[in-house]
Structure 1
Amino acid sequence: MTIVKKLLAASAAALALIAGSSFATTDEAIAERIKPYGTVCLAGEECANAVAAAPAGDAAAAGAGRSGEAVYGQYCTACHSTGLLNAPKTGDTAAWEEHLAAVGDMDALVQSAIAGKGAMPPKGTCGDCSDDEILAAIQHMSGL
């Protein structure tokens, strides 16, 4: 074997050793990276009565609710920003007032959005939205 090949082989071995050991710094760090995410509890076991906490980033599950702007941005903007299929456009107060007059009051307008209206599916595809979130989205879009 030539000297160049020996140097290349030694360099590759050293690089592999350094790369492999850089991730395994300590036993504690390794244990932290590979620890179980959770546990499984079966009915009848003591842990089955424990209450699971909602993830910190899940505001809807935690009960905080989403703003009208957030609901609009995620679920309503595709149709209401363009007027697709005769949806009243965001900011077109006159069109929203016509819809409001047709159903009577804001509660009835919210109920029609919850039930689905025309081409709009129930809750406008926001199946997990609360009634208050639907109201907030309508208020955001309509300015009423």
Structure 2
Amino acid sequence: MSEVTPHHDAGHAGPIKTPKQLVVAVLFAFVVPIIAIILLVSYVAADKQPAAGSDAMSAKATVERIRPVGVVEVKDVSDPSALKNGEQVYGAVCVACHGTGTLNAPKLGDAAAWGPRLPQGFETLLTHALKGKGAMPAQGGGDYADLEIGRAVVYMANKAGGKLEEPKASAVQTAAAAPAAATTPAPAAAASAAAPAPTSAAAPQAAAATGGVPALYAQACSACHIAGVAGAPKLGDKAAWAPRLGQGVDGLTASVIKGKGAMPPKGGTTASEAEIKTVVTYMVSQAK
């Protein structure tokens, strides 16, 4: 008698036993993932919707979001109305020192501090603002038209009791040119005075080479580094400069060019890298 082999296929049967179950399984395999994706997209989109009552989708907010990082401002210096007024220039530059009296700058509205200055007249005050005086760099470290600086001078002076009139373009040009005219040699002496002129252009570099004070430091850097404004290391303060000297002149020069902390790039000037390196070398030498 032959031996019959038992059937074991029944134990390995799958969960799908009928065509109907197969159709249901296929539908679930497609429908469930699609529903999950739709719910996920809805959740993400809802999370980014502006809160009720906000103006995130207003025209102003949209313009602000797509606003370029940088803008180019073109000024027509022949049109006084296109330039900033005195209060605007004061708020952009002058307030840094004249708002608090930093570095002995006369505070806005302080009649006692402005008292000795007002009798000097508009031309003298404007010349000081344009060329720099004491710890104040030329134009207070800003970059404005002479007429804009003149408007700022009048604004500050009149806030302290002055009675200066709004400057005209011709008056500002005359005052700005006055120092140059005062130093212009007479026609008879022009020929003899012409020879030393080429050497004067190299004066700041020569001063730095002989240990003198570079012109750029006196005009701009001293505004903060004399009194340690905004955390700037004071000139000659060895303790403040000690952690920085390890960077070397090249490293410190790179920091100045890029700007660091409250110091803007190039200290807010348009100086060349060579001029900045000269000033850094000078200040480092004073801290050793």
Give the TM-score range, shorter chain: 0.5 to 0.7
Once superposed, what is the RMSD of the aligned Cα atoms? 3.1
Matched, 1:142 2:160: no
Which of residues 85, 104, 117 in structure 2 aligns to 1:67?
85
Matched, 1:98 2:116: yes
Letter in 1 for 2:127: Q
| Higher RCO (C-alpha 8 Å, min separation 6) | 1
Matches for 1:28-47 after TM superposition, within 5 Å:
none
Q: CA deviation at 1:108?
A: 1.1
Deviates more, 1:77-86 or 1:88-97: 88-97
**Structure 1 residues 89-108: Cα deviation after superposition (integer angstroms, max 9, x where no partner):** 0011332231233xx32111
Which of residues 37, 44, 51 in structure 2 aligns to 1:12?
37
Structure 2 unaligned regions, length at least 5: 1-24, 46-70, 163-288
Q: How far apart, CA to CA, are the structure 2 residues paired with 1:61 and 1:9?
A: 58
> % of aligned pairs identical?
37
Q: How far apart, CA to CA, are the structure 1 residues paired with 2:29 and 2:135?
A: 73
Provide the residue aligned with 2:129 in structure 1.
Answer: 113
Matched, 1:82 2:97: no
| Residues 13, 62 of structure 1: alpha-carbon distance in 2 compared, 3 angstrom cutoff | farther
Q: How far apart, CA to CA, are the structure 2 residues paired with 1:112 and 1:68?
A: 16
Contact 1:96 / 1:142 at 8 angstroms: preserved in 2?
yes
Provide the residue aligned with 2:189 in structure 1.
Answer: none
Q: How far apart, CA to CA, are the structure 2 residues paired with 1:90 and 1:140?
A: 9
TM-score, normalising length: structure 1: 0.58
Q: CA deviation at 1:109?
A: 0.8
Which of residues 134, 140, 143 in structure 2 aligns to 1:124?
140
Equivalenced residue count is 102
Q: CA deviation at 1:112?
A: 0.8
TM-score, normalising length: structure 2: 0.31
Contact 2:118 / 2:157 at 8 angstroms: preserved in 1?
no
| Residues 4, 77 of structure 1: alpha-carbon distance in 2 compared, 3 angstrom cutoff | farther
Higher Rg of the two aligned structures:
2
